[in-house]
Amino acid sequence: MTCPSSISSSFYKRFYFKIKQSLLAITIFGLSGSLLAKDYVVEMILFENLSATQITEPHAYEAPRKPRTGAQAWILDNQLLLEEAELLNQNEAYEVKYHMAWGQESLPFSQSATYTLLEQEAQGYVKIYAENLLFANLDIDFKGLRLKEKRRLKLNEKHYFDHPKFGILLQVSRLEEDTKEAETQD
């Protein structure tokens, strides 16, 4: 015959184990859902420094090369850097040349989208990707001058990439679900 205390002890151990399993499963599924929903909105302003003196680059020039990509970016309305664009336009020393925004999935380097800049005065690529941390690779040619840089980013912070003749202001934030759905419907 089994003692009631041993029954209750083994029952509680199994019950406790099942509760731990359930909580772990809920935590894992909850995290995986939030990890999958890591789309970004990226906004970039390319502006010219009108007060810069004549700039030349003495090295052998190579045009920007497009990184391999496994995903696509989608165009969004500018929303993050509107005040900064207005301030740059009000300053006589600078001229905003291009102001663009796009959405993309949070993916590692080999799979992340590459935004292609093909404008009259500027060509190049911007690659935002997330390994354990968030990074940006820029390779931009503006009027024959090149800015090539890799940098670690922080979400929701403004990042300035500097060249004596031009600059790039970049901000990456989480893409809100309602913004993504609205853009998809358009």
pLDDT tens digits, 5-58: 555 666 666 666 666 665 554 544 444 333 444 799 999 999 999 987 766 666
The confidence score (pLDDT) of residue 110 equals 87
The confidence score (pLDDT) of residue 33 equals 38
Choose among 157, 163, 120: nearest CA to 136: 157
The confidence score (pLDDT) of residue 104 equals 94
Out of 36-50, 63-77, 79-93, pick the least confident: 63-77
Q: Which residues contact 171 (CB under 8 A, 6 or more apart)?
A: 42, 43, 80, 81, 156, 157, 158, 159
- Does the global pTM surpass 0.85? no
Q: What is the total residue count of the chain?
A: 186
The confidence score (pLDDT) of residue 39 equals 92
- Rounded CA gap, 49 and 94, in Å? 5
The confidence score (pLDDT) of residue 92 equals 93
The confidence score (pLDDT) of residue 71 equals 81
- Rounded CA gap, 92 and 89, in Å? 7
- Rounded CA gap, 142 and 45, in Å? 13
Provide the 3-class DSSP secondary structure of residue 78: coil
Q: Who wins on pLDDT, 183 or 119?
A: 119
pLDDT tens digits, 121-180: 999 999 999 988 999 999 999 998 999 999 999 999 999 999 999 999 999 999 876 544
